[in-house]
Structure 1
């Protein structure tokens, strides 16, 4: 059976990449490239009609960040894709911050979480990222679930597989996190 079709091919290639195997890193990228592009596309949906970064560029930037220097020890493909999603989110937020700093009066706006979920502007994306960072300091699990669901585009079942929590718990965590984020962004 060719390596690319083994059930644990990504996990095996991650381990070999961590040990410095450049050929394994190349095969890994070839194997997951399509999935990374799909993940990047999910992140880019809210960027409006003219996104500041193209999907391919986001994938390549994320790859460079993930594999430059010390390669993290991802135990499996789920952790790898979760990490990739986080890196993509940070890249988009950094780009939004840069665009805000270039605009006149780049003050942050107070916006509703429901509006941000539809089509975030730069200031809204930055406000949401700041709120998520504060939530992560208080309750990392809730923050991780929100990132996986709304930035990573994972389904409830996929989040259950990653976190080993029940669907009812995931729904409860999302509801609580959304309420907390709403308060953090909107204020009292």
Structure 2
């Protein structure tokens, strides 16, 4: 997201206000959300059946059900969560269609991403993220923003109200925790 983007109004309380605010904010952030959604759709392997526009529109519908947006950061955070839910729901639906899907293949690289190779891997990351949220909610929020919404360090910091350096440190910690957690869940890495 860029610096010239207008900020959201400060206090929204009624459902009608939420809808009006979402309708006002979506055009402002649409190009950024489309770029992020396209990147995330390809990165998590959503394939050709989940189009970028569909991801954005599904996220928008989820945003309309949000209780309120206090500011731009809150809207960004809600957008990240909405994209995460849409991608997870999509993966669940695909696995249900395939009656269990294929083999689980996890690839947690040393780079700045958590690799996803199939729908089951995406669901595994989602479930591990739920466990991480119980241990350290902020680490889970950083993963949600960076991984599921594709936010930059700066946008993640803005959405969460923390510094860029804290985002960097938390992202490193969270990736390491997820690598360990997902390796523990992988039957191929367990000793019999």
So what's the TM-score if we normalise by structure 1?
A: 0.78
Instruction: Say whether residues 1:66 and 2:55 are aligned partners.
Output: no
Change (3 A) 1:105 1:19: closer
Look up the match of 1:102: 97
Instruction: Say whether residues 1:54 and 2:56 are aligned partners.
Output: no
Instruction: Say whether residues 1:160 and 2:157 are aligned partners.
Output: yes
Secondary structure (helix, strand or coil) at the match of 1:91 reads helix
Q: How far did residue 118 of structure 1 move?
A: 3.9
1:138-157 aligned at under 5 Å gives the runs 138-157=135-154
Aligned length: 179
Look up the match of 2:187: none
> What do the CA deviations read for 1:79-119 (whole angstroms, capped 9, x no partner)?
11221121111111111111112224437726232397345
* Runs of 4 or more above 4 Å deviation: 14-19, 21-25
Q: How far did residue 30 of structure 1 move?
A: 2.6
Distance 1:94 1:172 in 2: 29
Q: How far did residue 121 of structure 1 move?
A: 1.1
Change (3 A) 1:19 1:124: closer
Change (3 A) 1:16 1:99: same
Q: Which has the higher helix share?
A: 1
Look up the match of 1:83: 78
Distance 2:125 2:5 in 1: 39
Instruction: Say whether residues 1:20 and 2:16 are aligned partners.
Output: yes
Distance 2:5 2:30 in 1: 17
So what's the TM-score if we normalise by structure 2?
A: 0.77
Q: Which stretches in structure 2 are left out of the alignment for 5+ residues?
A: 185-189
Change (3 A) 1:103 1:137: same
Change (3 A) 1:162 1:58: closer
